[in-house]
Structure 1
Amino acid sequence: MAEKEMSFLDHLEELRWHLVRSFSAIFIIAIIVFVYIQFFFDEILLAHLKPDFATYEFFCNAFASVGVDSSFCNISLDQTLQSVNPTQQLMTAIWSSLIIGFIIAFPYILWEIWRFIAPGLLENERKKSKGFIFYTSFLFFLGVLFSYFVIIPLSVYFFYNFQISDKVQNIFKVDAYISLVTNTLIGVALFFELPIIIFFLTKIGLVTPEFLKKYRKHALVLVLILSAIITPPDIASQIIVAVPIMFLYEIGIYVSKYVLKKEQKNVKQSPRVQ
């Protein structure tokens, strides 16, 4: 028996409940994070202020292995952050809990998106799209890990050691520091979704492999500009961000080729209308 066709208002109602469940998942996780907020701050969000953070030790050992002295071996960061108004710590805790809630709930949000879209797909399309949640989540969390262990420690190291004068002391506000961490986590994680974005843009005919190849240099300039926005203003950090993103761009070209070949193959195999 064919499924009853839904009206526009029915679709809106269905979408509303998917959004309600998605936001509920974020809020539930955020509440749990808020209950244990001190642990999340001390062990995760403020971990980059510790001189024995894994990234600093890695760079120290890497430079030492080639006989080069590195300041990563003698890191001394002021772990005191300022709260300059009565509500700042509370609002920072709430905002941080929501960001962490979104990151943890990301696969579930994707599942809700897929559940909303799936009824409108053909059976073969539905089977092929089951990997959507896995691959999108994998790239997202890969971006989170890359930003957490590479971009954020380099950013913290740079900003704490940059001084325009010895008479100026770096004492950062807690909300500014946490914004640096959370914005970088989300920004880089979304950057890593580039192959998925290219996949869907190719499916709807907005981009082709030739288009991506033609504007590769333009994409590099754009990536460098965006890298300069989310990283410290030094060339090394921008390159560290730009290299994996351009690598994902190249993967996106192959993804676009694959999608186009599959589309052309399906057109050839589909029976002609008499």
Structure 2
Amino acid sequence: MTNKQKIPGGDIEATFFSHLIELRARIIRAGGAVLIVFFSLIYWAPDIFCLLSSPLLKSLPRGGKMIVTDISGSFFVPMKVTMIVSIVVAFPIVLYQAWAFIAPGLYRHEKRLVIPLVVSSYALFLVGIAFAYFLVFPTVFQFMAHYNAPLGAEMNTDINSYLSFVLTMFLCFGITFEMPLAVVLLVHLGVVSLEKLKQSRPYAVVGSFVVAAIVTPPDVLSQVMLAISLVLLYEFGLIAARIFVKSPAHRNDE
């Protein structure tokens, strides 16, 4: 027989490997973007860390300072901070690479939903980080410094401990500020109605304080600020859902 026999599943296997090759290329490009930003900022790593530690240093009493308890801490901590900043700065490129990989498999209406979803999610996360840096940190650090003064103890913080605290708070508030987006998505996808979410306000308030107590460091002030932020963002999500999500009847008309 001169005709070649077709191997069952050959096309599927070729498609699978082509997707793997494309995925690898996308990951390399995303990682390359992060590394380019990192090496562009590495010279200013000490300045970046000083900017990050500024809210604490401004709140310390006279004579208070940050300390290094690890020999390599003064080098690696600024490097870690710079890498995290690089990931945040390059994240739009990372998201674009992820989008370019999954976009061919999406329907048109799904594509219209994904782009606003990704952009708003990234923007809200940055707003959460800014809220923690400009409002929460100065408030919490000043409170702790004044509370510590009557004890007669020096307030000297290790830079590794400070970095851990800051990253935890950034993550908590960054995710917290996704609340309006989560509410809009739940209503848009029909998982729960807007009226049901309005009726669940008391449970949302209690849940906000429970979540804040679990995820934040053990100080009451940051827990209260996170809980209040969650409650206000929940209300903002209800307003946004009322504005942007069409009613089922309106959807059927279309």
Q: Contact conserved, 1:29 with 1:101, CA < 8 A, in 2?
A: yes
The alpha carbon displacement at 1:31 in A equals 2.9
SS of equivalent to 1:261: coil
**1:205 Cα deviation (Å)?**
4.4
Question: Would the aligned equivalents of 1:151 and 1:231 in 2 still touch at CA under 8 Å?
Answer: no
How many angstroms does 1:178 deviate by? Answer: 1.9
**Alignment equivalent of 1:152, drawn from 107, 128, 137:** 137
Superposed counterparts of 1:1-274, under 5 Å: 7-42=15-50, 44-51=51-58, 76=61, 78-163=63-148, 166-228=151-213, 229-230=215-216, 233-235=219-221, 237-257=222-242, 261=246, 265-269=250-254
Identity of aligned residues (%): 24
Q: What TM-score do the two structures reach when normalised by structure 2?
A: 0.77
User: With structure 1 as the length reference, what TM-score do the two structures score?
Assistant: 0.72
CA RMSD of aligned residues (A): 3.3
Larger Rg: 2
Aligned partner letter, 1:178: L
Residue 194 of structure 1, CA deviation: 1.7
- Contact 2:65 2:155 (C-alpha < 8 Å) held by counterparts: no
Structure ranking higher in helix proportion? 2
Corresponding residue pairs, total? 242
C-alpha displacement at 1:147, in angstroms? 0.8
Structure 1 gaps of 5+ residues are 57-74, 270-274
Deviates more, 1:157-166 or 1:247-256: 157-166
Aligned to 2:3: none
Q: Tell me: CA distance 1:90–1:245, structure 2 relative to 1, closer, same or farther (3 Å).
A: same
More deviation in 163-172 or 180-189?
Answer: 163-172
TM superposition shift of 1:166? 2.9
The 1:110–1:47 alpha-carbon spacing in structure 2 relative to 1, beyond 3 Å, is same
Structure 2: give runs of 5+ residues left out of the alignment: 1-10
